[in-house]
Amino acid sequence: MIENVQNTNFASKNQAAKTSKAQQQFMDRKIFEAFKINAGSKTAYMPTGHLIKSKGPIGGLAVGIKDTFSDVKNFAGAVKNGKSNDHSLGRMNDLGLKLGGALIAGYLASKKMAPTSKGMEFIGFGAFLASMALWPRLTIDAPIKAKNGFNIRQKYIDNEGRKKEFFQDNQYLPWDLWSNEKINKIADRMHIDKNMKDREEFTKKKMQKIALQGNTEWMLSCGVGVPLMTSMICTAAEKPLELFNIKRAIKKSQKNLELMASGNKSVADYAHEIKDSGLDFTKLKGSADKKAERIFEELDPMKLVKQAKDQDSRHLIEELRYSNSLMDDIRQILTPKYIDSVDDFTTTLLDKVFKGGKVKSVNLLGDTVEKVISSDALKAVVEKANVQDGRNFAEKLLEAMKDAQLPLPTGMGQEEFVSGVTDLIQQNGLGKKSEAEALALLSRNGKAIKALQRKTGKLFEAVNSVFGARAESAATLRHSNFASSVLEQTGIKKNMALLKEIKETSGSGKAFDTLRKFFSKSAGYSDKEYADAFIELAGGKGPKGLLGKKIQSIFGYLDKNSKSTTAMKDALGKLGSETASLEGMPTLKNMYGGGRSGLKNIVSKFMHEARLNFNSTSHRALATLDFEKRVADSAAVKKFVKQKFGTADLADDFIEIARKTIYEGTKSGYSSAERFVKAGKVNMWKEVLDFLYNQPLADSTKKAIAEAAKMQEGAGISSEAKNIISGFNKYRSKVFDALKSSGESIPSKENFLLTGKPITQTLQEASKKLYNNKHWLKIFGIATIVAVAVTTVATFTFGRMKKEQELYEQQSKEDGNVTQ
């Protein structure tokens, strides 16, 4: 049976092959004739095209994303099958634009350092795409729709399911998609005579004209409008993005700290550990020095910083002198020796050979006495002998003991001592590890060190995200916020002319004058007003508004008692305890311990200095206000000057020097002698210092401090302002002591930070920046407004067809007459 089927199959195949060309042609003709007969009964498909309702901005975005995906699909289809249509190919151009834009943003972001600049590249690209879509919609489509009742960007789906813009091609408008009802509604909106003959036709013509004019205006205006709109969006987005990035960096690093402190590892840690499992130094070749260098290269802590390219972290690592200690330890392990642990060996030697350390020695009188040998002396001798040179260690030790004039153990000869020591090493396993063992130890340590470095890196990142001097940290934000607050209080913020003058004046002359006026004015206030000004200068209620709230929450991390500071301390403790597992690396252990140059000390010093830096700047501003208040009472100043210099004539000079010092004095200013000598007269350095920081505060200031102390946090005063005011007195005495003791020599870093940034300098820098920002915004803000206004207003002139309308109306009337 099967055979039969196979036979028939074979036969039919053979048959088919034999089917002549003529037969094939006959079949084709048959099919064609059947089609010809039926052709008359076939009709075209019913049209399925329709207009699409607008989905609003959010719905539109979703549709846009969906359309982009279908563009990708169409692109793949076009490349694969070689089939597409003009519409899809046109949309592929947009696809290319998006891809190219994303690549540009990605590449440029990779070259930027600060997260905000990185983010701005993408925001810029997004804003550009958004502006391209929004510009015509806001400035052209919306006013046209408001006036005429239809959207010139009306979309429709054609019979083949392609989405197109209805008015795109002025000479191809498939009007059958619009119902008469809809057209009439638009005609009503356009105030077209209801009785006009061919009202729909006329409306369509008008719509066509308006759409064409709108589209042309779009092409003419978007070249100017889109870049302007993009830059405005970016300007508005920069500050919130910066705050978001600062907070995100802090929060992220805090989380790492918590993980470190709790001993839990982050996912990233695990990933690294898997990679580090390949850390194997046992196969290294070459001299001990070369090996040490290779190992150090692998474990170099600077690698971490180089990757992060973070100036602050680099600074911290350098301060820790981590690299040196690591190299010392590696060399120590690899250096050829007789015994590994000198401590262990000395203890065992004292115990086993010296039997508790009793030795007989001859004293100065020639008597033989028994005494106890000092373990330190013995240790020194062991260390001296413990340098490998090929000789017997026990013999070397004996020689070293002779050199140090140390006696042998009671009742022991030289030979006995040598054999005793040799036995001791062998029996107790105190000998030096082989080189292979040393390398294995370093491999083990290496893994631990890498983990330690990663954690140190994370710790530094956490410290820097809050206290770092980098462009985006809580401390930097605090500085810029103080400057901005001073600008606001002095009234300069809104005074463009003054801003310009300060910006353009070389030196700090103009800033000095402006500030002096401000402080003198405040000094003239009543106690109540003065207190308000004093508190406001310290920070007042803190930054205001929605962004202000975010800023205040970031300032919270700077607080001494903040959670983040505690987390840092916990993490530091944990790091210290983790070094315990490092075998034979005493120097490195010290680094992570609590030593003077240890990690704990360095990190806390870093945080302290950062706090000191911004607090002193605020304190100095308060001291300036207090100074003006006291100087306002000229009799008191004269009394002080007379008491110090014997004559009140110097009072004016004294005030001038003191004023310059408190307003403008810098690190070098405080230390240059000539600054305090007026016209070759007396040097007033000590007296100025005394007056500024040691003399009692003005009564009004005392009252203001008391007032601030009474105020509840959050009600009229922020916690930062409260801290500043409560620390003011302490600051004064500290700065007085520091400057007095350093005299006129260059002050230490701490003393320099104590003096704070001169308020004139703060004001000048901030004014320049603000003026430039405002100036730029003024030019382009106005340009944007003008561009928007011109584009929008122009749309109201579109669709003027007075003559045609008259013609149509006349026609209607004539036709009406005829029918009547």
Partner 1 sequence: MKVSFAQNNNTNIMPSGYIKTQEADDKKYYHDDYILEGIGAKLPNPKRAVYELTTYPKKGLKGSPNSNFYEFLKMGKIPYVVGSAAMIALYCVGVNKYNSGDKLEALKIAKQVGTGVVLYAAGKSLGGKLVKKGVHMTTGIDVDMPYRKIVAQAPEKPGENRDSVDEYHKVFESVDFVNWPILEKFGARHGDCDKYYKKIAKRAGFGEDLNAPGQTMQPRIKSVVTRTYAAKNVVSYLWAALGVALSRQQAVVDFAKNDTFKTLIKNPKQSALKLGSCAKNAVKQLWNGTNKTSGILGKTLMAGTLAATVLGVALSNKDFRAKKHKSVIDPNKPVEEC
Three-state SS annotation for 396-411: HHHHHHHHCCCCCECC
Tell which one of 209, 294, 314, 358 touches partner 1 (CB under 8 A). Answer: 209
Per the CB < 8 A criterion, the answer to whether 755 and 616 are in contact is yes
Which one, of 492, 610, 518, lies nearest residue 555 by Cα?
Answer: 610
- The CB-of-404 to partner 1 minimum distance in angstroms stands at 56
State the Cα–Cα distance between residues 457 and 660, nearest whole angstrom. Answer: 43
- Smaller CB separation from partner 1, 20 or 405: 20
- Smaller CB separation from partner 1, 746 or 793: 793
- Smaller CB separation from partner 1, 209 or 358: 209
Q: What are the φ and ψ backbone dihedral angles of 791, each rounded to 5 degrees?
A: -65, -45
404 contacts partner 1 (rule: CB under 8 A): no
- Smaller CB separation from partner 1, 86 or 376: 86
- Smaller CB separation from partner 1, 297 or 389: 297
Per the CB < 8 A criterion, the answer to whether 489 and 498 are in contact is no
CB atoms near residue 360 (< 10 Å) = 14
Tell which one of 262, 307, 414, 581 touches partner 1 (CB under 8 A). Answer: 307
State the Cα–Cα distance between residues 563 and 205, nearest whole angstrom. Answer: 70
Sites for partner 1 among residues 53-92 (CB under 8 A): 75, 78-79, 81-86, 89, 92
Tell which one of 6, 9, 216, 810 touches partner 1 (CB under 8 A). Answer: 216
- The CB-of-35 to partner 1 minimum distance in angstroms stands at 20
Site string for partner 1, 259-298 (x = CB under 8 A): ----------------------------------------
303 contacts partner 1 (rule: CB under 8 A): no
184 contacts partner 1 (rule: CB under 8 A): no
State the Cα–Cα distance between residues 814 and 819, nearest whole angstrom. Answer: 9
- Among 99-107, 269-277, 356-364, 739-747, the segment contacting partner 1 (CB under 8 A): 99-107
Per the CB < 8 A criterion, the answer to whether 621 and 763 are in contact is no
Q: β-strand 358-362 against 50-51: which pairing, if any?
A: unpaired
- The CB-of-283 to partner 1 minimum distance in angstroms stands at 27
State the Cα–Cα distance between residues 559 and 566, nearest whole angstrom. Answer: 10
- The CB-of-227 to partner 1 minimum distance in angstroms stands at 4
| Long-range pairs for 739-748: beta carbons < 8 A, 24 or more residues apart | 739/670, 739/689, 739/693, 740/686, 740/689, 742/671, 744/671, 744/672, 744/673, 744/685, 745/671, 746/667, 746/668, 746/671, 747/667, 747/670, 747/671
How many residues bind partner 1, per CB under 8 A? 63
- The CB-of-772 to partner 1 minimum distance in angstroms stands at 4
- Smaller CB separation from partner 1, 487 or 684: 487
375 contacts partner 1 (rule: CB under 8 A): no
608-633 burial string, b = 16+ CB within 10 Å, else e? Answer: eebbbbbbbbbbbbbbbbbbbbbbee
- Smaller CB separation from partner 1, 231 or 508: 231
- The CB-of-578 to partner 1 minimum distance in angstroms stands at 28
Tell which one of 217, 242, 312, 340 touches partner 1 (CB under 8 A). Answer: 217
CA count, 13 A, side-chain hemisphere, 456: 31
Sites for partner 1 among residues 6-25 (CB under 8 A): 21-22, 25
- The CB-of-595 to partner 1 minimum distance in angstroms stands at 35
- Among 221-229, 604-612, 621-629, 675-683, the segment contacting partner 1 (CB under 8 A): 221-229
CB atoms near residue 712 (< 10 Å) = 8
Q: Which residues contact 207 (CB under 8 A, 6 or more apart)?
A: 148, 150, 167, 186, 799
Q: Where are the alpha helices (DSSP H) in 321-390?
A: 322-334, 342-348, 375-385
Tell which one of 34, 61, 62, 104 touches partner 1 (CB under 8 A). Answer: 104
Site string for partner 1, 450-469 (x = CB under 8 A): --------------------
- Smaller CB separation from partner 1, 228 or 708: 228
- Smaller CB separation from partner 1, 103 or 362: 103
223 contacts partner 1 (rule: CB under 8 A): yes
210 contacts partner 1 (rule: CB under 8 A): yes
73-111 burial string, b = 16+ CB within 10 Å, else e? Answer: ebbeeeeeeeeeeeebeebbeebeeeeebeeebeebbee
- The CB-of-81 to partner 1 minimum distance in angstroms stands at 8
Q: Where are the alpha helices (DSSP H) in 505-592?
A: 509-523, 527-538, 545-555, 563-578, 586-592
110 contacts partner 1 (rule: CB under 8 A): yes
Per the CB < 8 A criterion, the answer to whether 158 and 49 are in contact is yes
312 contacts partner 1 (rule: CB under 8 A): no
Site string for partner 1, 612-641 (x = CB under 8 A): ------------------------------
Crossing angle for the helix pair 199-262 and 180-189, to the nearest 10 degrees: 90
**CA-angle at 749, arms to 743 and 752, nearest 5°:** 60
What six digits make up the tokens of 670?
């405080």
Sites for partner 1 among residues 145-174 (CB under 8 A): 168-172
Tell which one of 47, 59, 106, 336 touches partner 1 (CB under 8 A). Answer: 106
Tell which one of 107, 175, 270, 796 touches partner 1 (CB under 8 A). Answer: 107
Residue with tokens 């039926």: 38
Sites for partner 1 among residues 751-790 (CB under 8 A): 765, 768-769, 772-773, 775-776, 779-780
Give the DSSP H or E segment for 686: helix 685-693
- The CB-of-800 to partner 1 minimum distance in angstroms stands at 8
- Among 107-115, 146-154, 616-624, 742-750, the segment contacting partner 1 (CB under 8 A): 107-115
Which residues, in sequence order, are bridge partners of residue 372?
Answer: 358
CB atoms near residue 766 (< 10 Å) = 23
- The CB-of-86 to partner 1 minimum distance in angstroms stands at 5
- With H, G, I as helix, E, B as strand and everything else as coil, classify residue 228: helix
- The CB-of-323 to partner 1 minimum distance in angstroms stands at 22
- CA separation, residue 737 to residues 290, 496, 547, 684, 686 (Å): 52, 41, 39, 17, 11
**CA-angle at 21, arms to 19 and 22, nearest 5°:** 100
Which one, of 680, 682, 692, 660, lies nearest residue 760 by Cα?
Answer: 660
- Among 7-15, 100-108, 408-416, 635-643, the segment contacting partner 1 (CB under 8 A): 100-108
- The CB-of-219 to partner 1 minimum distance in angstroms stands at 4
226 contacts partner 1 (rule: CB under 8 A): yes
Concatenating the DSSP letter of every residue in 746-777 gives: PPPHHHHHHH---HHHHHHHHHHHHHHHHHHH
- The CB-of-170 to partner 1 minimum distance in angstroms stands at 5
State the Cα–Cα distance between residues 425 and 394, nearest whole angstrom. Answer: 9
- Smaller CB separation from partner 1, 43 or 93: 93
- DSSP single-letter state for residue 674: G
Tell which one of 11, 34, 52, 97 touches partner 1 (CB under 8 A). Answer: 97
Residue ranges binding partner 1 (CB under 8 A): 21-22, 25, 75, 78-79, 81-86, 89, 92-93, 95-97, 99-101, 103-104, 106-108, 110-111, 168-172, 208-210, 212-213, 215-217, 219-220, 222-224, 226-228, 231, 307, 309, 765, 768-769, 772-773, 775-776, 779-780, 798-799
